[in-house]
Amino acid sequence: MQLIFAIVILNVCTNPNLNINIENAVTKFLGKISYGIYMYHWIVLLIAFKLLPLSENWYSTVILYLFVLGGAVLVAWLSFISYEKIFLNIKKRFEK
């Protein structure tokens, strides 16, 4: 599986004839909050296991995935606008 992803990534990066544009508002937004998604997704997952009634049905899994994805993005965005921006602005003071 890793080999397939490596081939796809190399193809996207090096093939000039490939017409895939990954520079858009959604990817820029997710890139901006990606560290928060990485840090907070497990907390959202634990909350989801406590709150959601899980069963063996396929739609229960879909609901779990959507809850965790949406919750992680929401928490990461809230963390970015309320906490991380402060430190990013402080960092700008020390740049040349």
**pLDDT tens-digit series, residues 63-74:** 999 999 999 999
**Total of domains in the chain:** 1
Instruction: Please report whether residue 49 resides in a domain.
Output: yes
- The residue range of the domain holding 65 is 21-93
Distance CA 96, CA 94 (A): 7
Q: Is residue 86 part of a domain?
A: yes
Give the contacts of 31 (CB within 8 A, at least 6 positions apart). Answer: none
- Asked whether residue 34 is assigned to any structural domain, the reply reads yes
pLDDT tens track for 37-85:
999 999 999 999 999 988 889 999 999 999 999 999 999 999 999 999 9
Position 39 in a domain? yes
In a domain, 77, yes or no: yes
pTM (2 decimals)?
A: 0.78
47 within domain boundaries: yes
Return phi, psi of residue 81, to 5°.
-75, -25
Residue 5 falls inside a structural domain: no
Flag whether 83 is in a domain. Answer: yes
